[in-house]
């Protein structure tokens, strides 16, 4: 009834079916966290890396693992520790006495879905090993370039920076994450459901029976489809205004980069596709702005001391920027 | 590696040697003590108290003159204002605290100081109670409105309260610009909703935000359809011809009727 005037230009049926299936699979194990799941799916469709932040015990790693399980692709996991070295992630050249030459042993970063658990437990030296691979999808070792296979997505979890034994990630690395998803505590009803589910020992069984929904090839196809979605010029202007405002806002000492503008558009396209549209609306943009910007912007020390969070600044900023209509 | 092992071995040997020496000496002392008890006691001659008849030397006194000379000697005056190597900054703070010390303790007396201190604590306590009771944000008292972030923005689209929608819509239809006509119709319906007090028009709100402000019912259902159509045409760049525009226009008229 609502869309009877318009014919569909893009066939999003496969994408919609896959999204529904992933949501259903995750919904059987993860209680609540609907927004986080939507953003995780959007992040994967938008070909972005995702940072999941939350206090210990809110199922960050479980959610990331389930998403990875739902995709039939090469999955690898790295547990970040304070003594982890860049070569532990990327790989290293080892001398082979038989062949009398150095052989490159690939590290866990060579995969499609890379789960980095507790990413902020490793210092900046180790973090910087991820710069090239996250942005350029390649690593350069001993003068050789090794290209990553598509899809290549980093799902990282971290504890809030205030927690013991954590480091703040370098800004350059944070900027490479499409989203920072904040996993909150569950509501009372959700908490009851979690405990009941665990008590009945459903979770462990279901976790082992999670079947892949999409293959690596499917993901690449869906990403192409998402990239091709329509975005009105006015909405691109609107996005640029939002980012531009972050650079002039008195509450911020570091604003968004051009990479942030691109991230908003890509993520908004993915959200539009999830909502069954082949075009972006201001609602899609506004929905993705907080997770795209919250880790990229930096508050001034006085705002931080006042207890203002990046999300508050973002909300106030968006409210005052005119929605193109 | 071998060197380290041999070093460790020699340390262990030394410890063992020390432990053995300690044990041997302890045991020997015990036996020695026991032997002492068992040996027959020899009878000592009775003690005789001897009187000390030696002459005491003459009593010596401090030389007052020398003491006074020492007191006058600058080398022994430690309570000086200028200390060697002291920076100007440290000298200032020393002077400052000396002043405080003299004013509070020496001049007025410590009793008065404690009186002032008690008054100050009392005032702080009363202010704290007031702060807690009124719930004032202490930071905002000195900084103004902390959460109001200054932002310069200019309205670029038409002010919906100043546009003559009927004339503009007519003009767009006459020019076969149905896309613009749909946009104007949608803005007009937003203005009508705002005038009726159903929504609160703000340039920063999205269509979904307005839709959520509407109470459930036929009006909301119609507005949802209109919003969807507007979004498909305006943001989705879907083409609209005269036939489909007539249908959309009919829906807008229905919505207007519903508003009364």
Q: What is the DSSP string of A100-128?
A: TEEEEEE-TTSSSEEEEETGGGS-HHHHT
User: Testing the interface with A: which of B204, B211, B221, B234 to mutate, by most A Cβ within 10 A?
Assistant: B204
pLDDT tens for B122-148 read 999 998 888 887 766 665 555 544 444
Q: How confident is the model at residue B103 (pLDDT cuts 50, 70, 90)?
A: low
Quick check: A281 and B231 CB within 8 A?
yes
Go through chain A and tell me how many residues it has: 325
Q: Residue A206: enclosing H or E segment and its boundaries?
A: helix A202-208
Least confident residue range of A303-317, B4-18, B25-39: B25-39
Instruction: Establish if B189 touches chain A: CB-CB under 8 angstroms.
Output: no
pLDDT tens for A124-162 read 888 888 888 888 989 998 888 999 988 899 999 988 877
Average pLDDT for residues A267-282, to the nearest whole number? 92
Query: What is the reported pLDDT for B16?
Result: 77
The two beta strands, A138-141 and A144-147, are antiparallel
Query: Alpha-carbon dihedral of residues B248, B252, B257, B260, nearest 10 degrees?
Result: 170
A295 pLDDT higher than 90: yes
Q: Quick check: A242 and A264 in contact, CB under 8 A?
A: yes
Least confident residue range of A34-48, B55-69, B153-167: B153-167
Instruction: Establish if A236 touches chain B: CB-CB under 8 angstroms.
Output: no
- For residue A265, the Cα-to-chain-centroid distance in whole angstroms is 15
Tell which wins on pLDDT, A41 or B160. A41
Quick check: A316 and B203 CB within 8 A?
no
Average pLDDT for residues B159-180, to the nearest whole number? 83
B154 pLDDT higher than 50: no
pLDDT tens for B202-234 read 878 889 999 998 888 888 888 899 899 899 998
CA distance A165 to A167: 7
Q: Quick check: A227 and A269 in contact, CB under 8 A?
A: yes
Q: How confident is the model at residue B29 (pLDDT cuts 50, 70, 90)?
A: low
What string of DSSP letters covers A16-72? HHHHHHHHHHHHHHS-S-HHHHHHHHHHHHTT-EEEEE--TTSSHHHHHHHHHHHEE
Quick check: B202 and A324 CB within 8 A?
no
CA angle B153, B155, B156 (to 5 degrees): 120
Quick check: B203 and A323 CB within 8 A?
yes
Distance from CA of B251 to the nearest CA of A (A): 11
Portions of chain A given CATH number 3.40.50.300:
10-185+194-200+207-220
Of B143, B187, B206, the CB nearest to A282: B206
CB atoms within 10 A of CB A262: 16
User: Testing the interface with A: which of B201, B203, B236, B245 to mutate, by most A Cβ within 10 A?
Assistant: B236
Count Cβ atoms within 10 A of the Cβ of residue A10 and give its class: 0-12 exposed, 13-18 middle, 19 or more buried: middle
Query: What is the reported pLDDT for B38?
Result: 52
CA distance A26 to A96: 45
How much is the mean pLDDT over chain B? 77
Average pLDDT for residues A275-295, to the nearest whole number? 93
Q: How confident is the model at residue B50 (pLDDT cuts 50, 70, 90)?
A: confident
Instruction: Establish if A6 touches chain B: CB-CB under 8 angstroms.
Output: yes
Least confident residue range of A183-192, A269-278, B7-16: B7-16
Query: What is the reported pLDDT for A246?
Result: 92
Instruction: Establish if A318 touches chain B: CB-CB under 8 angstroms.
Output: yes
Q: How confident is the model at residue A1 (pLDDT cuts 50, 70, 90)?
A: very low
Instruction: Establish if B185 touches chain A: CB-CB under 8 angstroms.
Output: no
Distances (CA, A) of B125 to B115, B116, B227: 15, 14, 58
Q: How confident is the model at residue A263 (pLDDT cuts 50, 70, 90)?
A: very high
- Expressed in angstroms, the distance from the first to the final Cα of chain A is 23
CA distance A52 to A40: 9
> What are the chain B neighbours of A282 within 8 Å (beta carbons)?
206-207, 235
Query: What is the reported pLDDT for A235?
Result: 92
- For residue B207, the Cα-to-chain-centroid distance in whole angstroms is 39
Q: Which CATH number is associated with domain A229-325?
A: 1.10.8.80
Pick from A67, A27, A28, A29: which is nearest to A48 by CA? A67
Q: Give the CATH H-level superfamily of domain A10-185+194-200+207-220.
A: P-loop containing nucleotide triphosphate hydrolases (3.40.50.300)
Query: What is the reported pLDDT for B136?
Result: 66
CA distance A187 to A210: 25
> What are the chain A neighbours of B146 within 8 Å (beta carbons)?
306, 308
For a pLDDT cut of 70, what percent of chain B falls above it? 73
Portions of chain A given CATH number 1.10.8.80:
229-325
B72 pLDDT higher than 90: no
- Expressed in angstroms, the distance from the first to the final Cα of chain B is 96
DSSP-derived 3-state class of residue A149:
coil
Distance from CA of A255 to the nearest CA of B (A): 14
Query: What is the reported pLDDT for B156?
Result: 44
């Amino acid at each position: 009834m609502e869309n009877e005037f318009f014919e569909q230009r893009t066939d999003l049926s496969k994408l919609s079916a896959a999204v529904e299936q992933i949501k259903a699979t995750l919904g059987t194990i993860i209680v609540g966290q609907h927004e986080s799941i939507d953003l995780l799916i959007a992040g994967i469709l938008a070909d972005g890396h995702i940072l999941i932040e939350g206090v210990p015990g809110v199922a960050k790693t479980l959610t990331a693992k389930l998403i990875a399980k739902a995709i039939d692709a090469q999955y690898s996991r790295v547990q970040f520790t304070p003594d982890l070295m860049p070569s532990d992630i990327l790989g290293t050249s080892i001398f082979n006495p038989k062949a009398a030459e150095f052989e490159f042993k690939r590290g866990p970063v060579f995969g499609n879905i890379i789960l980095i658990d507790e990413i902020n437990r490793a210092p900046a030296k180790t973090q910087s090993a991820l710069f090239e691979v996250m942005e350029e999808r390649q690593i350069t070792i001993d003068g050789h370039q090794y290209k990553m296979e598509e899809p290549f997505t980093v799902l990282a979890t971290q504890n809030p920076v205030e927690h013991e034994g954590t480091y703040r990630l370098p800004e350059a690395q944070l900027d490479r994450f499409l989203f920072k998803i904040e996993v909150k505590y569950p509501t009372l009803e959700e908490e009851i459901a979690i405990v009941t589910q665990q008590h009945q020992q459903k979770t462990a069984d279901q976790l082992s029976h999670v079947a892949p929904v999409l293959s690596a090839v499917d993901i690449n196809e869906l990403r192409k489809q998402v990239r091709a979605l329509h975005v009105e010029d006015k909405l691109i202007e609107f996005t640029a205004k939002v980012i531009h405002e972050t650079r002039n806002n008195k509450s911020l000492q570091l604003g968004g980069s051009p990479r942030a503008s691109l991230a908003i558009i890509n993520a908004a396209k993915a959200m539009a596709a999830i909502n069954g549209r082949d075009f972006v609306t201001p609602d899609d943009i506004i929905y993705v702005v907080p997770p795209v910007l919250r880790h990229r912007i930096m508050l001034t020390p006085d705002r931080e001391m006042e207890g203002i969070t990046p999300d508050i600044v973002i909300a106030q900023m968006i409210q005052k920027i005119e929605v193109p209509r | 590696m071998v060197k380290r092992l041999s070093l460790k071995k020699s340390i262990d040997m030394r410890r063992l040697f020390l432990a053995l020496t300690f044990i041997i000496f302890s045991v020997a002392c015990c036996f020695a003590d026991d032997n002492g008890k068992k040996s027959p006691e020899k009878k000592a001659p009775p003690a005789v108290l001897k009187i000390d008849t030696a002459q005491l030397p003459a009593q010596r006194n401090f030389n007052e003159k020398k003491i006074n000379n020492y007191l006058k000697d600058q080398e022994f005056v430690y309570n000086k204002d200028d200390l060697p190597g002291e920076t100007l900054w440290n000298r200032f703070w020393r002077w400052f605290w000396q002043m405080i010390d003299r004013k509070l303790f020496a001049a007025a007396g410590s009793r008065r100081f404690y009186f002032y201190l008690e008054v100050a604590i009392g005032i702080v306590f009363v202010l704290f109670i007031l702060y807690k009771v009124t719930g004032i944000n202490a930071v905002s008292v000195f900084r103004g409105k902390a959460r109001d972030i200054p932002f310069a923005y200019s309205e670029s689209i038409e002010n919906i309260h100043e546009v003559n929608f009927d004339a503009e819509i007519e003009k767009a239809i006459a020019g076969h610009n149905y896309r613009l006509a749909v946009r104007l119709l949608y803005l007009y319906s937003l203005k009508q909703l705002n005038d009726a007090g159903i929504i609160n028009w703000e340039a920063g709100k999205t269509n979904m935000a307005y839709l959520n402000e509407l109470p459930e019912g036929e009006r909301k259902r119609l507005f949802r359809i209109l919003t969807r159509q507007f979004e498909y045409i305006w943001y989705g760049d879907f083409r609209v011809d005269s036939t489909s525009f007539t249908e959309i226009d009919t829906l807008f008229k229905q919505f207007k009727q519903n508003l009364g």
